[in-house]
Amino acid sequence: MEHQEKAPEGNLTKLMEFVLLDFADVPHLQKFLFGLFLLIYIIILMGNGIIVLITKLDPALQTPMYFFLGNLSLLEIRYVSVTLPRMLTSLGTQRRTISLVACATQMCFIITLGATECFLLAVMACDRYAAICSPLRYPLVMNPKVCVQLAAGSWISGIPIQIGQTCQIFSLPFCGSNLINHFFCDTPPILKLACGDTFLTELLVFTVAALFVLVPFLLILVSYGKIISTILKLPSATSRGKALSTCSSHLMVVALFFGSAIVTYLRPKTQGSAGTDTVRSLFYTIVTPVFNPMMHSLRNKEVMTALRKWPGRHLSSWKK
């Protein structure tokens, strides 16, 4: 990371609001984009909402794997609700301003929920490791109390650090341009607008990103290294295929989320442009929540069975 001190701007009023440009450079597509993202938001809410319900209510899905899947789907709903409604409002009304406080609040939620997703995906990898590599000890290791503790830890462990990071970023002086070339208040574009020496803040952001992104990602790699080693030793192709099928959906989500997050937050500052940053952010904020329920349902026989049985079962119970 290069130490670049930004020259303070003279005789400029301290900024009290920003302008999120998002897709302002394509004014002829505003209505189309509004309809597209509204449809995507509805799909995310319905798809992940159904996963949350069936993993909570279906007796066949009361296992650690589906408990964590339900938590992940609930997280995706909250994650996308921090960004998409604000973007839809901007596309619908063409009012792109956002106050300093609202911007800081949005950023805090985004990075906190992002940290939670990193931890949850790592916990899900450890769950698959315990199930495949130590099947006899699995019920003891991943008992309900441990599952609740792991899920709670994933949700709350990043909150203090991410609040502190947000306060540190927004304690910087902002002057000059107030245009954010993004569709939400993300860390990299906000730091570009800060005046004076931002080296220590950028170092803090990089360190926190390495802690909350790289450490869970390395844990996932280690877990799947041991999982693959164990699967290759299984005697039959059927056993190997069944074991791999329980991991494939999770691996796809990991690749989508961590791939875009690592490139966005841990690449050298001089690389990339605002446009490519926006595209990468779309992957971990919107694309992953869209495909998460699809990948975990279409590729999972137990979830598909629960989806087929669930409407009929609950309709009959309501009639009674």
Half-sphere exposure in the Cβ direction for 102 (13 Å, CA): 13
d(CA 90, CA 110): 18
Q: What is the pLDDT of residue 14?
A: 63
Torsion angles phi and psi, residue 19, rounded to 5: -125, 115
Which CATH number is correct for 16-306, 3.40.50.970, 1.10.1280.10, 3.40.50.300, 1.20.1070.10? 1.20.1070.10
d(CA 148, CA 155): 11
Q: What is the pLDDT of residue 244?
A: 79
Question: Quick count: other Cβ atoms within 10 Å of Cβ 122?
Answer: 22
The end-to-end CA distance of the chain, in Å, is 65
pLDDT mean for each 10 residues of the chain (320 residues): 46 70 83 94 94 89 92 94 93 90 94 94 94 92 95 94 93 85 89 86 90 92 93 82 79 87 72 64 84 75 76 51
Q: What is the pTM of this model?
A: 0.87
Q: What is the pLDDT of residue 298?
A: 62
Q: What is the pLDDT of residue 38?
A: 95
Q: What is the pLDDT of residue 315?
A: 47
Domains of the chain, residue spans: 16-306
